[in-house]
Amino acid sequence: MHDTRTISRTDERPPDAAGSDDAVAETDQVLSPTRLAWKSFRRSKLGLVGSLMVLLLIVIAIGGEQFSPYDAYSMDSSVSLEPPSLAHPAGTDRFGRDQLTRLMEGTRISMLVSFVAVVLSLVIGIPLGLIAGYYGGLAGTVIMRGVDVVFAFPTILLALMLVATLGASLPNLILAIAVIFQANVVRIVRASVMSVKEREFVEAARAVGARDSVIMAQFILPNVLSPVIVQATFHLSLAIFIEAALSFLGLGTQPPTPSWGLMLNESRTFMEFAPWLTIFPGLAIIFAVLGFNLMGDALRDAFDPRLSQR
Amino acid sequence: MEGTDRPSKAGESAAPLLDVQELCTYFPIRTGILQRVRGFVKAVDGVSFHINAGETLGLVGESGCGKTTVGRTILRLIPATSGQVLYRGRNLFELSGSEMRRLRREMQIIFQDPVGSLNPRMRVGRIVGEPLEVHGLARGEQLRQRVGDLLERCGLWPGAAERFPHEFSGGQRQRIGIARALALQPKLIICDEPTSALDVSIQSQILNLLAELQDEFQLSYLFISHDMAVIHHVCDRIAVMFNGHIVEQGSRDEIINDPQHAYTKALLGAVPQPFPQ
């Protein structure tokens, strides 16, 4: 997940104008750094595939069971443990509930958990990282030692401990994931801030007399967001994974709410004679994780610092 | 390494605009887990000079001799260890935060690196207009107008305000930096090697622009450079810095024609001859 990828971009670069004075004509189209990144992102085929996968998941999450003739919760014992058929493309579970419908409903839970947890982690992590990176000193030390505590535990184990302590429920699960992720966000923001704050445009802002709040909000934050966005995308997939793992262990989503991890858990008993109950939730998890990761990879390439520094 | 401070001819009667007295800037060297201070890098060690209104003082020396630190310390971008900087008789180091902020209008800085000194995520119009906004001097249409004028005065065009720094060449970016420094109509501009990152042909354009602006707005410059030829071209007086000290200062002609200190002679000897024999 943390490999540094280098893709040759020589053919895409406009001629380097730094040394010569023949640069901008008055009529050229304005190219903002964001637009440059977007152009590069669009060029990535895998990124496009990933984005489409994520888009599909979002649509399903919003629409949920409305796309299905069945109800995710109503039981029908006459069709219990049916294998995949035209009527039930992903089979039915032991209570005769249509599994495809439950998977769609589970998408909503997974997306809700991952998006809310990631946004929460950004809301906590970005200000802490800015303070730790910009001021350093005692505040920075305290924040970073707190982060170290989070990093001292394996992710899943810490999530398990937090949820077990707070009580097994969806909000607590989201909170636990956010607490774990914010540590990563703080570290990334802090490191970027420490490098950006040494650059001369920050010094120029100080020479002008801009206040710290202005410098942080307008000069530093926009320049540290790219790595944070990339990391957040990977966090989205990791959150889906953690949600599934904890639900599988019975500490996340509670029955009868369908969740991919919970469905996997419930399928264990019937794995030998109803394997579709295990396979389809597993495929759903793979699909979501893959989609977010492909998108994240393309975003990382698009936000390549070599482009934004030019 | 005592400096041979010779009396300058110009401006002896009037009080100087900027008077730097025994300025010291030390950076602590911290080692070990406990970050104990083991010693100091004496980047600037007892530097004194003055700049009169409308004058250009050249601060020349090799890389790492502390000349950039002098400029940054005067503007309180780096805390001074000791000494005084008097601007129109007021000691900058004794001013409160808000007093200093007000005074920053009168002293600005132009940076060496035309890439790093402009925020890549801001449009040029915001970059140049930021000082006016910070001090609440202009808003809306008036701000746009002022920014356009500034850009034009610095050899760009008003439409450049809509663009991002990466779309400009090095020389153009330096012009943006100059426009930003001019925005507050300062009296003193610290030019920190403004041309050393540029091609020679562009260097002269920028130097000429700085000279024009000086005449037009009665600016005083502290011109920091390692290039004796550039210093010779733009400065009224020259201070030669070596290893955190000023070893020699005087009028341009005195320093160029009759250097006293061995280091000054070495610096002058390093200037390439346009027509070597």
Q: Using CB atoms, pick whichever of B119, B170, B205 lies closest to residue A18.
A: B170
Residue A189 pLDDT: 94
**Percent of chain B topping pLDDT 90:** 32
Q: Has residue B254 got a pLDDT over 60?
A: yes
For B47, the 3-state DSSP assignment is strand
Report the alpha-carbon distance of residue B215 to residue B260 in Å, rounded.
Answer: 31
| Predicted TM-score (pTM) of this structure | 0.79
CA distance A142 to chain B (A): 15
For B115, the 3-state DSSP assignment is coil
Q: Has residue A116 got a pLDDT over 90?
A: yes
Residue A132 pLDDT: 93
In this prediction, residues A79-106 reach a mean pLDDT of 77
Per-residue CA distances from B230 to B207, B223, B233, B235 (Å) = 8, 10, 5, 8
Residue A304 pLDDT: 65
**H or E element, residue B224:** strand B220-225
Per-residue CA distances from A51 to A231, B134, B164 (Å) = 16, 40, 28
- The answer to whether A30 contacts B163, with C-beta atoms less than 8 Å apart, is yes
Residue B8 pLDDT: 46
Report the alpha-carbon distance of residue B180 to residue A76 in Å, rounded.
Answer: 73
- State both tokens at B22: 């025994």
- The answer to whether A200 contacts B117, with C-beta atoms less than 8 Å apart, is yes
Q: Has residue A248 got a pLDDT over 90?
A: no
Report the alpha-carbon distance of residue A263 to residue A20 in Å, rounded.
Answer: 63
- The answer to whether B167 contacts A219, with C-beta atoms less than 8 Å apart, is no
Residue A13 pLDDT: 35
Secondary structure letter of residue A167 according to DSSP: -
Contacts with A223 from chain B: Cβ below 8 Å: 119-121
Q: Which residues contact A298 (CB under 8 A, 6 or more apart)?
A: A41, A44, A46, A47, A48, A50, A51
Q: Using CB atoms, pick whichever of B172, B180, B201 lies closest to residue A24.
A: B172
Residues comprising chain B, all counted = 277
- The answer to whether B199 contacts A20, with C-beta atoms less than 8 Å apart, is yes
Report the alpha-carbon distance of residue B171 to residue B149 in Å, rounded.
Answer: 18
Residue B176 pLDDT: 92
In this prediction, residues B85-94 reach a mean pLDDT of 89
Residue linked to tokens 């070599």: A306
Q: Using CB atoms, pick whichever of B77, B116, B171 lies closest to residue A201.
A: B116
Q: Has residue A22 got a pLDDT over 70?
A: no
Contacts with B77 from chain A: Cβ below 8 Å: 203, 206-207
In this prediction, residues B240-244 reach a mean pLDDT of 89
**Percent of chain A topping pLDDT 90:** 20
Q: Which residue has the higher pLDDT, A28 or B10?
A: A28
| Half-sphere exposure in the Cβ direction for A252 (13 Å, CA) | 32
Q: Which of A161-165, B22-26, B33-37, B88-92 has the lowest mean pLDDT?
A: B33-37
Residue A1 pLDDT: 40
**H or E element, residue A237:** helix A221-248
For A172, the 3-state DSSP assignment is helix
Q: Which residue has the higher pLDDT, B53 or A303?
A: B53
Which residue in A147, A141, A179 sits closest to A160, CA to CA?
A179
Residue A29 pLDDT: 66
For A146, the 3-state DSSP assignment is helix
**H or E element, residue B44:** strand B36-51
pLDDT tens across A272-304, in order? 888 888 888 888 888 999 998 888 888 888 876
Report the alpha-carbon distance of residue A15 to residue A33 in Å, rounded.
Answer: 16
In this prediction, residues A74-83 reach a mean pLDDT of 74
Report the alpha-carbon distance of residue A160 to residue B234 in Å, rounded.
Answer: 69
Report the alpha-carbon distance of residue B61 to residue B226 in Å, rounded.
Answer: 5
Residue linked to tokens 């058929």: A85
Task: Provide the pLDDT confidence category of residue B56 given band limits of 50, 70 and 90.
Answer: very high
Q: Using CB atoms, pick whichever of A23, A28, A205 lies closest to residue B172.
A: A23
Q: Which of A74-78, A191-195, A212-216, A297-301 has the lowest mean pLDDT?
A: A74-78
Contact B249, B6 (CB under 8 A): yes
Residue B10 pLDDT: 46
pLDDT tens across B149-170, in order? 999 989 898 888 888 888 888 8
Q: Using CB atoms, pick whichever of B119, B163, B202 lies closest to residue A24.
A: B163
Residue A77 pLDDT: 73
Residue A19 pLDDT: 39
Q: Has residue A181 got a pLDDT over 90?
A: yes
Name the average pLDDT for chain A: 81
CA distance B199 to chain A (A): 7
Contacts with A33 from chain B: Cβ below 8 Å: 120-121, 164, 166
Chain A: residue whose CA lies nearest to B159? A26
Bridge partners of residue B31, in order along the sequence: B36
**H or E element, residue A286:** helix A276-302
For B117, the 3-state DSSP assignment is coil
User: Kindly report the CA angle at A257 between A251 and A260, in degrees rounded to 5?
Assistant: 70
- State both tokens at A271: 């794995």
Confirm or reject contact between B155 and chain A (CB < 8 A).
no
In this prediction, residues B29-58 reach a mean pLDDT of 86
- The answer to whether A30 contacts B118, with C-beta atoms less than 8 Å apart, is no
- State both tokens at A186: 């703080």
Which residue in A293, A295, A290, A277 sits closest to A106, CA to CA?
A277
Q: Has residue A84 got a pLDDT over 90?
A: no
Residue A65 pLDDT: 67
Residue A306 pLDDT: 53
Residue A182 pLDDT: 93
Residue A28 pLDDT: 57
- The answer to whether A201 contacts B119, with C-beta atoms less than 8 Å apart, is yes
Q: Using CB atoms, pick whichever of A28, A30, A204 lies closest to residue B109.
A: A204
- The answer to whether A209 contacts B121, with C-beta atoms less than 8 Å apart, is no
- State both tokens at A120: 């929460």
- In one-letter notation, the amino acid at residue B265 is K
Question: What CATH class has A49-61+98-309?
Answer: mainly alpha
In this prediction, residues B43-47 reach a mean pLDDT of 89
In angstroms, what is the C-alpha Rg of chain B? Answer: 19
Q: Which residue has the higher pLDDT, B11 or B57?
A: B57
User: Which residues 108-127 of B have a C-beta within 8 angstroms of A?
Assistant: 108-109, 111-113, 115-123, 127
**Percent of chain B topping pLDDT 70:** 94
Domain boundaries defined on chain A: 49-61+98-309
For B82, the 3-state DSSP assignment is strand
- State both tokens at B104: 């920053």
- The answer to whether A33 contacts B180, with C-beta atoms less than 8 Å apart, is no
- The answer to whether A20 contacts B169, with C-beta atoms less than 8 Å apart, is yes
Q: Has residue B36 got a pLDDT over 90?
A: no
Confirm or reject contact between A210 and chain B (CB < 8 A).
yes
Name the average pLDDT for chain B: 86
Chain B: residue whose CA lies nearest to A14? B167
Q: Using CB atoms, pick whichever of B104, B169, B171 lies closest to residue A208.
A: B104
- The answer to whether B117 contacts A219, with C-beta atoms less than 8 Å apart, is no
Of A265-269, A300-304, B273-277, the range with the highest mean pLDDT is A265-269
Q: Has residue A94 got a pLDDT over 80?
A: no
ipTM above threshold 0.95: no
Chain A: residue whose CA lies nearest to B119? A201
pLDDT tens across B178-233, in order? 999 999 999 999 999 888 888 888 888 889 999 999 999 999 999 999 888 888 88
Q: Has residue A26 got a pLDDT over 70?
A: no
Contact B61, B248 (CB under 8 A): no
Contact B19, B47 (CB under 8 A): no
In this prediction, residues B74-86 reach a mean pLDDT of 90
Q: Has residue A187 got a pLDDT over 90?
A: yes
For B206, the 3-state DSSP assignment is helix
User: Which residues 70-89 of B have a C-beta within 8 angstroms of A?
Assistant: 72, 75, 77
Report the alpha-carbon distance of residue A41 to residue A262 in Å, rounded.
Answer: 35
Residue A128 pLDDT: 94
CA distance A140 to chain B (A): 15
Please write down the HEC assignment for all residues of A14-82: CCCCCCCCCCCCCCCCCCCHHHHHHHHHHHCHHHHHHHHHHHHHHHHHHHHHHHCCCCCCCCCHHHCCC
In this prediction, residues B264-275 reach a mean pLDDT of 79
- The answer to whether B120 contacts A210, with C-beta atoms less than 8 Å apart, is no
Q: Which residue has the higher pLDDT, B22 or A92?
A: B22
Q: Which of A182-196, B172-186, B257-271 has the lowest mean pLDDT?
A: B257-271
- State both tokens at A107: 């998408």
- The answer to whether B101 contacts A209, with C-beta atoms less than 8 Å apart, is yes
Which letter, b or e, does each residue of B102-132 get, where b requires 16 or more Cβ atoms within 10 Å of its Cβ?
ebbbebbbbbbbbbbbbbbbbbbbbbbbbbb
User: Terminus-to-terminus CA distance in chain A, angstroms?
Assistant: 27
**H or E element, residue A196:** helix A170-196
Confirm or reject contact between B101 and chain A (CB < 8 A).
yes
Residue A25 pLDDT: 52
